Structure 1
Amino acid sequence: MKTVYIGTYPPRRCGIGTFTQNLLQAMSGKDDSPKSKKGFFVVAMNDFDQEYDYPEEVGFTIRQECQRDYQEAAEYINLSGADCCILEHEFGIFGGRNGVYILSLLHRLKIPLIVTLHTVLKTPSYEQKEILQRICRTANRVVVMSHHAVEFLEDIYDVPKEKIAYIEHGVPDYKFLQQEAKKEFKLDKRKVLLTFGFVSRNKGIETAIKALPEVVKKHPEVLYVVLGKTHPHVLHYVGEEYRNYLIQLVSELHLENNVVFIDKFASQPELFKYLYAADIYLTPYLNEAQITSGTLSYAVGVGCPVVSTPYWHAVELLADDRGILFDFSNHAQLADILIDLLDHPEKRLRLSRNAYEYGREITWPKIGAKYNNLVKEVTAEQLKIPRKKSIPFDIKILPPFSLAHVKRLTDHTGIIQHTKFGIPNLKEGYCLDDNARALIMALMAYKETKSQKALEFCPVYLSFIYYMQNDDGTFHNFLNFDRTFVEEQGSEDSFGRAIWALGYMLDNAPNDSYSQIGKYMLDKSVPVFDNLRSVRSIANVILGISYYLKNNMGDDVMIERLRKLTAFLVEEYRQNSHADWKWYEILFAYDNGLLPLAMLHAADILKDEEVRRIAFESMQFLSDITLKEGYLSIIGNEKWYHREDTRSDFAQQPVDAMCMVLMFYQAYKMTDNIDYLKKLFASFMWFLGENDLRLSLYNYETEGCFDGLEREGISRNQGAESTLAYLISYLVVLEAHKNYYSKYWQQNQTEDLTSNE
């Protein structure tokens, strides 16, 4: 089996890199020759723009914070002919917030995936949990190295038990004689206590140092060796602050003859010589949240007596009298244990024998064989998976429809426009844009679900729109929390959204009162139409008029208004479109799907073939750009996408996804082409994680929607615009699903009757 590994790799100094190298060697054969590694290669992670002189098995490198590298790595792997991919996962080695960039790579893989988790958090943040769950859903198998991790994956991350594989951390099979190792390091007259690995505050080395004064009183020959460099990330951000603190502590306790710091990244043979030279190995970590410890596995593997705090991996690995545990930060208890072990060599010997016996079962050749069997297993399963039938919808995967976050944002005045994380930000007040969208959403929700709560929201949002209208038909946009206006007249875009909402309400009024006030405000605003120049404002107004005309086709004056506004967009399209640029402007900005959406509605009302052609042509151009990978990749708002420039990948906004959903549904209603339903659903799935970062924007805790996809991850705020865009899109999916399956059922009934005849 040709296997590719993703992770850090030597010469980068990283424990996971060492693990990856050991695993590759164990799976490919006992020797370290290039020939034995044929069929095995590595995609290596670089950090802080560092370059490394990698060995030949490294076929591709990824710059940690360069998102495009992850996509290119996926393409490289897919073209390599590899049978299986093994990912070594640790949040800190991948780019984006909490390592989110790795998701874009994994989603593009076309071969089976095995993920080895080096960290499984008991109390993850919302985003950490979301990322790890998506990794586990993508993986064919998830490997963990402790039984605690198995429990966490099942209970916290909802990973099916049958997907989890327990494989211990491997141990290199080095053998040295203790006296010879001690002599080489000039330690033959000392009792050696050892801690090795990257130095950082969570290692609790100060606990061991504080225990030494009592130990040294009885055993002055004791030497505590701290072997390892400061962790690179710690060094990058705070320098040698912790190491200097430890050195100062040694000085204060007068332990200069009993503690030595060896500031180096030891090679594996050298490291194991130190382990064989040690009389006792210490891991005095400060808290239990350590699910895997390679250093502890190494110590047990060589049969070194271990004294450790009871972090998760230590509790498991040191069971059955393979080591001794002491309480976190309890240096007095540690001193008593060390004195007892140094006084009684037979106890150390017993621990050593038990540990060594267990260690023989976790040597790398045996661990490599387990991984090879797992690779064969998942590749065999992959061949048996039948192709899924192509269907336009799978609404079973949708979360339940909920207005909880809308309720949280809505008071007696209207809907608050912004939040700080998930909490309404009253300082920002209200805006016409969001209350117009909220009215559309509430009317849709009542129509689709008969939600009484949605119906109760309708007069709140409608009265807000009424309050915001000026005597000349224009609207204010922003309103302070004390109900004072921020400006005399809002933007053209906010005006257009208000007209869209009024037109939609006039087509879906719950009772006559809504129709009366809606018509009153619409008539009052009509004179403003002639002054509009923004293509998006005009598109919004076209939508409002189109909805109004569905039940008022006798209104010839309004039809002419629609024709005139549509002609404006047609002219903009003629002026700006070219053979390779079928668009209304020389750039893509925001709410891009709104323009083809408006033209589709206008074409449906006016029955104008040129308008129809432009609508479908521009829709196809937009979808070719944003759906070319099979999922929605919204044109980001970091900078506008000019015709001669490159597009922005980030600052992707939920309103853009909403417009795409609405656009494809209108195209489906006009053509009955099921491909538009598939694109509609693909666009909606942007909210649920089918996007460039592979993260869900829907927050299952608050039942709101995050504000967008940023370069480093998801924007954590959950404002009204985003949540309303999600809910409107959700309701369109429900309506489209009902529409499609109603036609599908009728078609099947007709076919059945025909066959019976």
Structure 2
Amino acid sequence: MRAPFLARKVAFIGTYLPRKCGIATFTHDLRHAVALQRGESACLVIAMNDAAGPYAYPPAVVCEISEQDLASYERAAEYLNHRDVDVVCVQHEFGIFGGSAGGHLLTLLRALKMPIVTTLHTVLRDPGPEQRRVMDALIKVSDRLVVMTERGRTFLRERYAAPAEKIDLIAHGIHDVPLEEPDRYKELFAVEGRLVLLTFGLLSPNKGIEHVLNALPVIIAEFPQVVYLVLGATHPNLLRHQGEAYRLGLERLAKKNGVEQHVIFYNRFVDLPELKEFIGAADVYVTPYLNEQQIVSGTLAYAFGAGKAVISTPYWHAAELLADGRGVLVPFADAPAIARSVCDLLRDEPARLELRRRAHLLGREMIWSRAAEHYGESFERARAQHAAKHRQAFLLRTLAQEPMQLPAFKPDHVLRMSDSTGMLQHALFSVPNFAHGYCTDDNARALMLTLLWESLGQSTPAIESLATSYTAFLAHGLHPGTRRFRNFMSYDRRWLEDVGSEDSHGRALWALGVCAGHARDRSLQLLAGQLFEAALPAVVDLVHPRTWAFALLGIHAYLQRQPGDSRAGEIRAVLVDRLMTRFAEHARGDWFWLADDATYDNARVAHALILSGGAMAQKAVQETGLRALGWLMRIQTATNGHFQPIGSDGFFHRDRPRAFFDQQPIEVQATVAACIGAFHATADRSWLRQAHRVFEWFLGRNDLGLMLYDAKTGGCRDALHADRVNENQGAESTLAFHLALAELQLTHNDLTDFEPSTAVAAGAA
């Protein structure tokens, strides 16, 4: 059993630092906040490059897109589709993507297989035709839409007909800073003892800074100690086309107004620590922007959240954030109004302090850690909706009621994953991954598969050779001192532990018992028998019921060839008694199970009791196994009838909701085998029909309607997640598919001369 899927991998698409723009800063801050909660490796960045790029990006940036190169958008989509990404989080602004109205972005998004959460940094009230076309398509392709203001949400609903239930309102994140007196920071900029006005952000004519410069003579007449700090480099796009003409014009205006000694221009793009210091030094923050339709301002959010008294023109974000007395609003391009408002605040210190206090208090709800939590909720909603779309499409298909045709024999991927040492654990897609080496668990399963193929007449010299390698691996895995199996071996054939897991010991016993009981090669049969006898006593000291079940399945097969082995019989009796005691202790009401949680490989317990009860002529034991299997079938059947295994992302605990994802192939194979065992024990063909229904999970009859089996490679994908399959085709999943297929094929071959107590499939399953 592999570790449950824990890390939720998120890919952020947008501009990124060190590129100088507000979206780059936002993407960086959001990604950093999410990474603090989910881990650095779980947060990737796809960075947008403009004509000035490429940039010296940090390691978080794993892929770059050239703004006007459509092919690079296609390559980015392919990259993301092959990186096991759970959610893509797009930072959308028309100007940062290529094509008409940034339409190149749609090429990328339409090719993605995972859910998309799009943050809209601009929502236009009156878009042009191309902007409207792109927005309509963006709304359709996104699973969730994030806006930062109530006005943005209203526009999406009323002007773009976006579904209200698809929209998340998440305020612009801010950095968590204490409410401090400005004097602490003023000496850093040689303005101690002065009253500081501040405007910061990339400079361009729509910032309206000239209107503050025109207001300064009136302000300085009453407050000669005022100094106005203008922080920010000229916007790169403006710089490319006009150079520093705008900044030089502002400097000339300050000189013309006679206030040049009261204005300091900082012509640079500052990093976060220094930005906090600038904001900290301000007594009043001023945003005199001229564009009413600016629906988001990161600079406003940062200053407000830091507890600054804010004076602003009523562009959309400011009008909403500063409403109800949280700041001061002045008309657009109105220098006298700016002068009056600044003087009023500087004159009335209690009022200024109250604005600061209220702003800082509200700002605690906007800090980046809270924003990251809200984005996490949006990501999960997106995943759920994405999965729901798959499920809906699945339910709308007309699925035949008769069983699907079983796939043809194709051992290619099993052979690809094996070498002279044994079977490798993991794959990158369908390519063996040497980094994780081998394990006893998988080699035990692989040995049983070769024996089933032998029984079906499908063995070849290559498969016979692999059966020898798998048996040799188990022989080498048995520690001569402890008589316990080691589990993990590196690719260079070094054991990584002295004692493996209890599960690996149980699975090794199971495989050796089947080999000793059913192998046609006498050498394998004799060696397996010796190893089984040497390792069996240790199982009595093990404590996990699933391990006992594995051992019982092995004992059952072993005793078919060695019925007189009294020690194996005695250990079987001990293990059966333990399982029955567990059921007596835990099964009650509608919970017929031997523990307070059902995790993975659950049906093995039921299967072991069905076989052992029949072999020991203990009807109560067999009935307990059949009843437990029936309970497992009930809780793992979806409302429309397909198999819905317990998910490994939380499992199923008594009195708590069960996990539905991530669904694992081993649970499916275990249930197929148990149903076949129940059919052989009872001759009730409904169990065989159940086995077929469960097997069809591999073929697309599942929650998402997606194939787990890859008919091209002969491999099986590793899991069914909430919104997609895991594309890797590791040993565990591939063996689970082929074991289940072989067990069904063998059962059908045996039906004409069926003998319930002696069918090989029951022992090998």
Q: Normalization by structure 2: what TM-score?
A: 0.50
Aligned twin of 1:55: 58
Letter in 2 for 1:271: L
> Cα deviation per residue 1:73-104 (whole Å; 9 max; x = unaligned)?
00000101000000000011111122111010
Rounded to whole Å, the distance in 1 between the matches of 2:66 and 2:86 is 24
Rounded to whole Å, the distance in 2 between the matches of 1:7 and 1:313 is 21
Would the aligned equivalents of 1:49 and 1:64 in 2 still touch at CA under 8 Å? no
> Cα deviation per residue 1:84-143 (whole Å; 9 max; x = unaligned)?
000000011111122111010011010000000001111111000110110111000100
Q: Report deviation, 1:379.
A: 1.0
- Whether 2:332 is the aligned partner of 1:325: answer no
Rounded to whole Å, the distance in 1 between the matches of 2:306 and 2:396 is 56
Q: Report deviation, 1:14.
A: 1.4
Letter in 2 for 1:5: F
Letter in 2 for 1:12: R
Rounded to whole Å, the distance in 2 between the matches of 1:224 and 1:314 is 21
Aligned twin of 1:169: 172
Letter in 2 for 1:388: A
Summarize the alignment of residues 585-600 of structure 1 with structure 2, pairs less than 5 Å apart: none
Q: Report deviation, 1:382.
A: 2.2
Aligned twin of 1:199: 203
Rounded to whole Å, the distance in 2 between the matches of 1:234 and 1:129 is 26
Aligned twin of 1:337: 341
Q: Report deviation, 1:49.
A: 5.0
Aligned twin of 1:749: none
Q: Report deviation, 1:340.
A: 1.1
Q: Tell me, what secondary structure is at the counterpart of 1:136?
A: helix
Q: Tell me, what secondary structure is at the counterpart of 1:286?
A: coil
> Cα deviation per residue 1:251-299 (whole Å; 9 max; x = unaligned)?
1101111111100001111111111100000000113111000000001
Aligned twin of 2:15: 8
Letter in 1 for 2:340: D
> Cα deviation per residue 1:377-436 (whole Å; 9 max; x = unaligned)?
2112322332537999xxxxxxxxxxxxxxxxxxxxxxxxxxxxxxxxxxxxxxxxxxxx
Rounded to whole Å, the distance in 2 between the matches of 1:13 and 1:256 is 27
Summarize the alignment of residues 134-153 of structure 1 with structure 2, pairs less than 5 Å apart: 134-153=137-156
Would the aligned equivalents of 2:229 and 2:266 in 1 still touch at CA under 8 Å? yes
Letter in 2 for 1:282: V
One of 287, 291, 301 as aligned partner of 1:287: 291
Would the aligned equivalents of 1:286 and 1:328 in 2 still touch at CA under 8 Å? yes
Would the aligned equivalents of 2:13 and 2:91 in 1 still touch at CA under 8 Å? yes
Aligned twin of 2:34: 27
- Whether 2:116 is the aligned partner of 1:75: answer no
Rounded to whole Å, the distance in 1 between the matches of 2:321 and 2:157 is 21
Letter in 2 for 1:90: E
Report the count of equivalent residues: 388
Letter in 1 for 2:91: E
One of 250, 261, 271 as aligned partner of 2:265: 261
One of 207, 216, 220 as aligned partner of 1:216: 220
> Cα deviation per residue 1:27-82 (whole Å; 9 max; x = unaligned)?
1216xxxx931111000001105111111111100011111000000000010100
Letter in 1 for 2:207: K
Aligned twin of 1:610: none
Q: Report deviation, 1:376.
A: 1.4
Rounded to whole Å, the distance in 2 between the matches of 1:281 and 1:128 is 33
Aligned twin of 1:361: 365
Q: Report deviation, 1:242.
A: 1.2
Q: Report deviation, 1:334.
A: 1.1
One of 118, 124, 128 as aligned partner of 1:125: 128
Q: Tell me, what secondary structure is at the counterpart of 2:233?
A: coil
Rounded to whole Å, the distance in 2 between the matches of 1:98 and 1:235 is 22
Q: Report deviation, 1:305.
A: 0.2
> Cα deviation per residue 1:161-219 (whole Å; 9 max; x = unaligned)?
11111000000113465222111111112100000000011110011110110011111
Aligned twin of 2:90: 87
Would the aligned equivalents of 1:174 and 1:269 in 2 still touch at CA under 8 Å? no
Q: Tell me, what secondary structure is at the counterpart of 1:44?
A: strand
CA-atom RMSD, angstroms? 1.6
Rounded to whole Å, the distance in 2 between the matches of 1:132 and 1:272 is 35
One of 157, 160, 165 as aligned partner of 2:163: 160
Aligned twin of 1:388: 393
Letter in 2 for 1:89: H
Would the aligned equivalents of 2:230 and 2:264 in 1 still touch at CA under 8 Å? yes
Q: Tell me, what secondary structure is at the counterpart of 1:124?
A: coil
Q: Tell me, what secondary structure is at the counterpart of 2:374?
A: helix
Would the aligned equivalents of 2:183 and 2:193 in 1 still touch at CA under 8 Å? no
Q: Report deviation, 1:312.
A: 0.5
- Kindly tell me: are residues 97 and 382 of structure 1, through their superposed partners in 2, closer, same or farther at Cα, counting changes over 3 Å? closer
Rounded to whole Å, the distance in 2 between the matches of 1:318 and 1:49 is 36
Letter in 2 for 1:174: V
- Whether 2:252 is the aligned partner of 1:252: answer no
Q: Tell me, what secondary structure is at the counterpart of 1:121?
A: coil
One of 234, 238, 247 as aligned partner of 1:234: 238
Rounded to whole Å, the distance in 2 between the matches of 1:389 and 1:110 is 16
> Cα deviation per residue 1:684-712 (whole Å; 9 max; x = unaligned)?
xxxxxxxxxxxxxxxxxxxxxxxxxxxxx
Q: Report deviation, 1:223.
A: 0.5
- Whether 2:105 is the aligned partner of 1:107: answer no
Would the aligned equivalents of 2:44 and 2:61 in 1 still touch at CA under 8 Å? yes
Rounded to whole Å, the distance in 2 between the matches of 1:236 and 1:145 is 30
Rounded to whole Å, the distance in 2 between the matches of 1:208 and 1:177 is 24
Identity between Structure 1 and Structure 2 (%): 42
Q: Normalization by structure 1: what TM-score?
A: 0.50
Aligned twin of 2:377: 373
Structure 2: tracts of 5 or more residues without a match: 1-7, 398-765
One of 311, 317, 324 as aligned partner of 2:315: 311
Rounded to whole Å, the distance in 1 between the matches of 2:52 and 2:205 is 25
Q: Tell me, what secondary structure is at the counterpart of 1:38?
A: helix
Rounded to whole Å, the distance in 1 between the matches of 2:340 and 2:177 is 32
Rounded to whole Å, the distance in 1 between the matches of 2:263 and 2:188 is 18
Rounded to whole Å, the distance in 2 between the matches of 1:49 and 1:21 is 19
Q: Tell me, what secondary structure is at the counterpart of 1:257?
A: helix
Letter in 2 for 1:104: T
Moved runs in structure 1, 4+ residues, more than 6 A?
389-392
